[in-house]
Structure 1
Amino acid sequence: MYNIEQLNMLVQSAELGSFSACARKLGKVQSAISQGIANLEIDLDVTLFDRSTRKPTLTPEGERIYHYAKAVLHQVMELEKVALAAGKAEEPLVKLALDSALFTPKLSQLLLQFSEKFPHTRLEVITLASTDITAHVESGRADIGIIFADPTFNRNVDLCFIGNLSFYGVCHPEHALATKESLNAVDLIPHRQLLLRGEYGDEQHHFAAISANVWWANSFESILTLVQQNVGWTYLPQHMVTDLFAEKKLHQLPVVFDHKPWNLQVDLLSAKGASFGPALKWLFEGLKTILE
């Protein structure tokens, strides 16, 4: 039965152009390479190389098998890397839950770095309303969560403050509020307000209902879509609206009670007393920097 070493001889001989070059690369004598490939041909019952020329060349059948052999060698290398990662106690799967508003460009860069640092650890990103994330972490459905700070402290999770995210009041450029030079709370009351609410009906404490007419969604992407359809006004994170302001696709509300953008505190959370392997530990430390 053929083995991995013989497949490697086939691939190296084909790519280097000769049995002698293959022997030099693998640190063997040429006769060992010739015999190894001859045995492979017997096992497969296929002539892999045309030896009638000065340098052996792949036959059509050999060309076909060469590609399969190369794929097998690649899979073997991946298997060895996975085994090495397991030996280092790297987690096979990491689950990260976050509010969609916190999926910033810097977070995307961090996840790319994670993929390069831990190529054999799978990552599941779960986007939820902040109000739903603590329960996911507490129950083990997520390893790490990133949320807007909840004033009602949950003692069953560990919290780490990592920074603030700025929010702006916005509406569609053709919305009635866009014609006003300044706005107070009374001006906002008649117009539909768009608010975030979790799957279980919990609302963000930071955004009170000002209007008598409120619509809810469980993600800021959905709220942004509704604003772009001129359905109502809302508050959205800075990184989601900056370009849209510049492109005149969104209008910033000139509310008199917002001398500066609203800054919401962001917390990183994990299950109480949770122990992290190498991948989780690296990711947790990296997440502390996404708002710097």
Structure 2
Amino acid sequence: MNNLNLDQLRTFVAACEKGSFSAVARDMGRAQSAVSSQIQNLELDLGLDLFDRSGKYPSPTAAAQALLPLARQAIGQLRRFQQAADSYQSGEEPLLRIVFEELVMPDKLNDMLAAFSERFPHTQVRACNASHECAIRRIAEGDADFAFVTTRDHYPDEVDFNNLGQQRILTLACPEHPLAQMPGAALSEAAQYRQLVAASPSAKRRWQLSPQTWHSDSLLQALDLACKGVGWVNAPYELARPFLKSGKLVELNLTNALSAWSLGVDLLWSASTPQGTAARWFAREARRLYGNYYSPPIEVADSI
């Protein structure tokens, strides 16, 4: 069997749908004999009778009716192939790799990615969480295109960054926790109860307040443990929102809570890797949407 081509498939589909070679010829601006010849050549290539010509008009055979949806699918795939190739030729990246620290991955990132999928349907996205140090290293080594991380004073020369603002961190516990029963607990009182810490090794000391501490690499696990009364935990509002809405967790009203209970958020990218149209859009939208999200902080009571 010779290799099929797109024109043969389109002619075959049109002939099945219109039920007349002459109608296909008119729509395609060809002679009827050319359409008939192409169908015959396709039949010879496949070794099948695709049309019954015994009547006034050719009618698709059972084999043709079975092949018709496959032909439509093949035409669609070839069309998408060409569209994707055109997009890549115009500067759109085939792949965008995004890493983030769990503490700075609120719903806004998924909002951005949903908009991105509509704007750049041919660019694949690979997103994953990583520790602070790993995220920076992956950007510096060119293994990722963007990273959302907590702010630090210095980055390697291979890394460019933009500050997205401050993210408010909530202090949470289950409603039955002793701290939740206090109208206003001091930090010194919170330190008397077990704290659940989910942070990278370099940041654990910053977040640790209580000498009774459990550490976890997963913030969602720490939140679930807090729901079970194991301890209290710090988390950004967006990740805590479903727990707050369900009533499994409540925000603790700690007095003397200093600015340490907030996170600066930076967007990182490679200083040496050129950005295509998709990456430039992503960086611009991150500054716009995340900037609106992080500053000013969200008031929980107005957002649930």
**What 5-or-longer segments of structure 1 have no aligned partner?**
none
Which residue matches 1:197? 199
CA distance in 2, matches of 1:111, 1:20: 48
Sequence identity percentage: 28
CA distance in 2, matches of 1:148, 1:109: 20
CA distance in 1, matches of 2:13, 2:265: 53
CA distance in 2, matches of 1:94, 1:241: 28
CA distance in 2, matches of 1:54, 1:165: 74
Which residue matches 2:74? 72
Q: Is the 8 A contact 1:220 1:236 kept in 2?
A: yes
CA distance in 2, matches of 1:71, 1:83: 18
Secondary structure, in 3 states, of the residue corresponding to 1:290?
helix
Distance verdict in 2 for CA 1:148–1:268, change over 3 Å = same
Q: CA deviation at 1:146?
A: 0.8
Equivalent residue letter for 1:270: W
Which residue matches 2:88? 86
CA distance in 2, matches of 1:86, 1:259: 49
Equivalent residue letter for 1:290: L
Alignment of 1:19-30 (within 5 A): 19-30=21-32
2:136 to 125, 131, 134: 134
Secondary structure, in 3 states, of the residue corresponding to 1:190?
coil
Q: CA deviation at 1:243?
A: 4.3
CA distance in 2, matches of 1:31, 1:204: 78
Distance verdict in 2 for CA 1:247–1:261, change over 3 Å = farther
Q: Is the 8 A contact 1:98 1:147 kept in 2?
A: yes
Number of aligned positions between the proteins: 289
CA distance in 2, matches of 1:74, 1:249: 48
Alignment of 1:49-64 (within 5 A): 49-64=51-66
**What 5-or-longer segments of structure 2 have no aligned partner?**
293-304
CA distance in 1, matches of 2:118, 2:27: 28
User: What is the root-mean-square deviation in Å for CA atoms of aligned residues?
Assistant: 2.3
Which residue matches 1:252? 251
Which residue matches 2:234? 235
CA distance in 1, matches of 2:55, 2:118: 44
Q: CA deviation at 1:7?
A: 1.1
Q: CA deviation at 1:74?
A: 2.0
Q: CA deviation at 1:97?
A: 0.7
Which residue matches 2:183? 181
Q: CA deviation at 1:131?
A: 4.2
CA distance in 2, matches of 1:32, 1:210: 82
CA distance in 1, matches of 2:133, 2:178: 31
Distance verdict in 2 for CA 1:160–1:73, change over 3 Å = same
Q: CA deviation at 1:28?
A: 2.2
1:19-42 CA-partner distances (Å, limit 9, x unpaired): 233333323233322221121111
1:34-71 CA-partner distances (Å, limit 9, x unpaired): 22112111111111122334443321111122222222
Q: TM-score, normalised by structure 1?
A: 0.89
CA distance in 1, matches of 2:138, 2:212: 31
Distance verdict in 2 for CA 1:203–1:276, change over 3 Å = same
Q: CA deviation at 1:262?
A: 4.0
Q: Is the 8 A contact 1:171 1:234 kept in 2?
A: yes
Alignment of 1:7-18 (within 5 A): 7-18=9-20
Q: Is the 8 A contact 1:131 1:204 kept in 2?
A: no
Distance verdict in 2 for CA 1:56–1:228, change over 3 Å = farther
CA distance in 2, matches of 1:180, 1:55: 86
Alignment of 1:85-124 (within 5 A): 85-124=87-126
Q: CA deviation at 1:10?
A: 0.8
Equivalent residue letter for 1:274: T
Q: Is the 8 A contact 2:95 2:125 kept in 1?
A: yes
Q: Does 1:226 align with 2:225?
A: yes
Q: CA deviation at 1:195?
A: 1.4
Distance verdict in 2 for CA 1:140–1:50, change over 3 Å = same
Distance verdict in 2 for CA 1:28–1:229, change over 3 Å = farther
Secondary structure, in 3 states, of the residue corresponding to 2:9?
helix
